[in-house]
Amino acid sequence: MPEIESILQRPQDPDLTSSSAFPETALHVALQLRRFDVVQLLLEALADVDKPDGRGSSPLLKAVDIDNLEVARALLAAGAHTDAANLRGETPLFKAAANGLAEAALLLVEAGADKDKLAACGRSPLHVAVLRGHAAAARVLLKARANPNIADRHGCTPLRLAAGLGELETTLLLLDHHADKDTADSDGVTPLLTACLLGNLEVARALVQSGAKLDQANNHGETPLAVALAYRKAQVEGVRLLTEASADVDKADSVGRTPLLIACLHGHLQVAKFKGESADDWILGCAHPEIVRQLSEAVVNGSVETVQLLVQAGADLDKLNTFGKTPLYMAAMCGHPAILEILLEAHADVNKVGNDGLTPLLLVAKQGDLQMTQLLLRAAADKDKTNTEGSTPLLLACLGGNLEVVRALVAAGANLNQADNQGRTPLLAACLHGYTEVAGLLLDFGATMLK
C-alpha cells in the first residue's frame, strides 16, 4: 500500500489502461482483485469512475456484480453514472436484479437509476428479477415504481413471466402493484392462459381471484380452459377452478374444437365429465369432423366411457365416418354389444345403411351374433330390409347356419319366404348348405322352399 500511495502521488494518469485483449483501468483491476483499499486510493486520485473495461462494464457495474455495497456506494458518491451499460445493454440495476441483490437494487434506485431501462435482450430489471425468481429484488423495484406492465420484445410482461414460471409470491406482488392481469404477449397468451397451459394451479387461482378474464383466447382461439385440457396432464382441480368461476365451457377454438372435444381428444375423460351429470353441462360442437372421427375411434376401440361421454354431449350418432360407416354399424362390426346398447338407447338410426349396403342387423345376422341381433330387434330394426343382393337378415343367417340367430329373427316375425336376387328363400339356402336344424326350424314355422 505505501508503494501504491507513493506512485499515485507522482504525476501520472490513474486511468492508464492495460494493453490486454480486454483493456482495463487500474480501477477495474483493483475491483477484480477485490483490493478495495486500492479502489479507495484510486478514487482519491480522481480516477475516472465511469471508464468502461473492454467488455463495456463500468466500475459501478463491477462493484454491483461482486455485491460490494461499500464500493458501490463510494463510486456513487464519486459521481458514477447509475445507468452506464455494458455491451449487452445491462445496467448496474439490471445486474443487481439478475443476481437477486435487493440491497444493491435499493441503493441504485435511491441514487436515481432508471428502473425501466431495457437491456439488449429487450428486458427490464423487473423482467430479469422475475425470471430469476428474485422476489425481494422485484419488491424493491416495484416499491420504487418500476413499470409493472413493461413488455419485452415478445410482448411478455413481468406478470406473464411469473405466471409461466409458477412464481406465486411474485405473482401476488405484481398484482398488489396493479399489474395488468390480462395483457397478452405477441402470441395472444395472457398470464392466466400461460398458468393453465403449464399447470400452475395456485398462480391460476390467484389470477382468477383477482378478476382475470377467464375466456380471453390466444391467437389460435384457445382459452385458458382449452389449454388446461390440451397441453398437460389435465388436473381436475384446474378445470374445476375455471368452470366454477364461470369460464365458457362451450367456446370453440379457431378450428372449432370445444373444451369437451379437446378433453376427449387428449383422453382426459375424468376432467371432461366431472362437472355434472347433465349433458347440458357440456355442449359439444357436434358438426366438427374431429368429433365424428373421435366417436368412431372410441367405438372401434371399445371405449365405453368415451362413447358415453360423447353421446351425452349430443354427438351426431348417425354421421358416417371416412369409411362410410355409422357408429352403430362400427359397434356391430367390431363386436361391442355394450357400445351398441348405448347407441341404441340414445336413438341412433337402427336402419341406416353403410356404404356396403348393409344395415347393422344385416351385418350381425351374417356374423351370427345372437346378443347384438336381439338388441337390434328390440330397438325395432327392420327385420326384412335387404342388402344390394336382395338378402334379408334371415337369409344371411340361414346361409351361415346360425340357428339361434335364425330362431330370434323368426320369433320377431321376419318374412320366412322372402327370396334374394337369385331366387333363394331362407329354407332353400339352409337346405342347399345342409343346415338341417335350421331347415327344420323354418319348416316348423311354415316356411316354403320357393317364394
Query: Each residue of 67-91: pLDDT tens digit?
Result: 999 889 989 999 999 999 999 999 9
* pLDDT for 169 beyond 60: yes
Give the torsion sign (CA, 164, 165, 166, 170): negative
* pLDDT for 286 beyond 80: no
CATH 1.25.40.20 is the classification of domain 286-349: yes
* pLDDT for 274 beyond 60: no
The predicted structure's pLDDT at residue 322? 84
The predicted structure's pLDDT at residue 295? 85
Confidence of residue 184 (pLDDT cuts 50, 70, 90): very high
Please check whether the two domains, 151-283 and 363-451, share a CATH topology: yes
Confidence of residue 221 (pLDDT cuts 50, 70, 90): very high
The predicted structure's pLDDT at residue 321? 87
Give the residue from 178, 280, 190 showing the smallest Cα distance to 226. Answer: 190
User: Which set of grid coordinates corresponds to residue 406?
Assistant: 335364425
Residue 281 per-residue DSSP state? G
Q: Could you write out the three-class secondary structure of 407-419?
A: HHHHHCCCCCCCC
CATH of domain 151-283: 1.25.40.20
**CA-atom Rg of the chain in angstroms:** 39
The predicted structure's pLDDT at residue 211? 97
Residue 319 half-sphere exposure, CB side, CA atoms within 13 Å?
18
The predicted structure's pLDDT at residue 224? 94
CA distance 66 to 35: 12
Superfamily name and number for 363-451: Ankyrin repeat-containing domain (1.25.40.20)
Average pLDDT over residues 377-401: 96
CATH 1.25.40.20 is the classification of domain 1-147: yes
The predicted structure's pLDDT at residue 8? 47
Measured CA distances, 280 to 49, 109, 154, 443 (Å) = 71, 56, 39, 53
The predicted structure's pLDDT at residue 271? 62
CA distance 357 to 362: 9
The predicted structure's pLDDT at residue 279? 37
The predicted structure's pLDDT at residue 11? 46
* pLDDT for 280 beyond 50: no
* pLDDT for 282 beyond 50: no
The predicted structure's pLDDT at residue 14? 54
Confidence of residue 281 (pLDDT cuts 50, 70, 90): very low
Confidence of residue 259 (pLDDT cuts 50, 70, 90): confident
The predicted structure's pLDDT at residue 1? 54
Confidence of residue 229 (pLDDT cuts 50, 70, 90): confident
- Could you read off the pLDDT of 1-54 as tens digits, one per residue? 555 555 445 445 555 555 555 567 778 877 877 777 777 888 777 777 888 887
Average pLDDT over residues 142-153: 98
The predicted structure's pLDDT at residue 233? 56
Please give the single-letter amino acid code of residue 239. V
Confidence of residue 363 (pLDDT cuts 50, 70, 90): very high
Across all residues in the chain, what is the average pLDDT?
88
The predicted structure's pLDDT at residue 287? 45
Q: Where exactly are the structural domains of the chain? A: 1-147, 151-283, 286-349, 363-451
Q: Are 241 and 229 in contact (CB under 8 A)?
A: no
Confidence of residue 95 (pLDDT cuts 50, 70, 90): very high
The predicted structure's pLDDT at residue 243? 87
The predicted structure's pLDDT at residue 276? 43
Question: What is the per-residue burial (b if ≥16 Cβ within 10 Å, else e) of 286-305?
Answer: bebebbbebbbebbbeebee
* pLDDT-wise least confident of 169-173, 228-232, 281-285, 371-375: 281-285
- Could you read off the pLDDT of 112-134 as tens digits, one per residue? 999 999 999 999 999 999 999 99
Measured CA distances, 144 to 68, 139, 147, 157 (Å) = 21, 8, 9, 18
Give the helix ranges, DSSP H, for 249-345: 259-265, 269-272, 289-300, 304-312, 327-334, 337-345
CA distance 116 to 125: 7
CA distance 181 to 411: 69
CA distance 188 to 205: 20
* pLDDT for 323 beyond 80: yes
